[in-house]
């Protein structure tokens, strides 16, 4: 399938729609049904001991799969997460960004399913895995957002 958005467009979309947190995320790779997104870790993402918090990992997976869906279907900000499941498997490395490597497994008319492995930057064993489901609003509804 052809991509409907490229990396700069995804960054603009993020800036428009999730202004507050957009600066923390950077799309590092984008391909058909696949995306890698980095969370640029700052103090707000850390737990004692300097490791990245669970909610920060969850938030990264959620944004990453959402952007993968947007890249495939175009900007529909009202797509919503309906279900997410995450396994925390190892302690992330202190002082490192984390990177979610995700793929879409299903992109239906009304539901999309994606999964991610999350790594500490520079690490090669996953610290977490996540799967997420999104409900996609019908095409042509006012859920479609024109990119200003």
Binding-site ranges for a second copy (CB under 8 A): 17-20, 43-44, 46-48, 53-56, 58-59, 62, 77, 80-90, 105-106, 110-111, 113, 115, 117, 126, 129, 131, 133, 135
CB of residue 89 vs a second copy: minimum separation in angstroms? 4
Strands 128-135 and 111-120: antiparallel
Q: Which residue has the tokens 């737990």?
A: 47
The C-alpha atoms of residue 34 and residue 134 are separated, in whole angstroms, by 16
CB of residue 56 vs a second copy: minimum separation in angstroms? 7
For a second copy, the closer of residues 30 and 33 by Cβ is 33
Q: Which residue has the tokens 């507050």?
A: 20
Strands 80-88 and 98-107: unpaired
CB of residue 124 vs a second copy: minimum separation in angstroms? 12
For a second copy, the closer of residues 15 and 29 by Cβ is 15
DSSP 76-125: BTT-EEEEEEEEE-SPPPTT--EEEEEEEEEE-SSEEEEEEEEEETT--S
For a second copy, the closer of residues 11 and 90 by Cβ is 90
For a second copy, the closer of residues 115 and 144 by Cβ is 115
């Amino acid at each position: 399938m052809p991509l409907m958005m490229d990396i700069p467009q995804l960054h603009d979309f993020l800036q428009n729609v999730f202004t507050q947190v957009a600066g923390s995320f950077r799309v590092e790779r984008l391909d058909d049904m696949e995306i890698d997104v980095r969370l640029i870790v700052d103090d707000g993402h850390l737990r004692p001991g300097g490791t990245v918090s669970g909610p920060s990992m969850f938030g990264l997976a959620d944004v990453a799969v959402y952007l993968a869906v947007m890249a495939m279907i175009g900007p529909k900000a009202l797509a919503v997460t309906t279900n997410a499941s995450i396994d925390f498997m190892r302690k992330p490395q202190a002082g490192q960004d984390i990177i979610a490597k995700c793929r879409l497994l299903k992109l239906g008319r009304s539901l999309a399913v994606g999964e991610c492995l999350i790594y500490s930057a520079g690490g090669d064993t996953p610290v977490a895995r996540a799967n997420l489901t999104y409900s996609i609003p019908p095409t042509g509804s006012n859920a479609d957002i024109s990119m200003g």
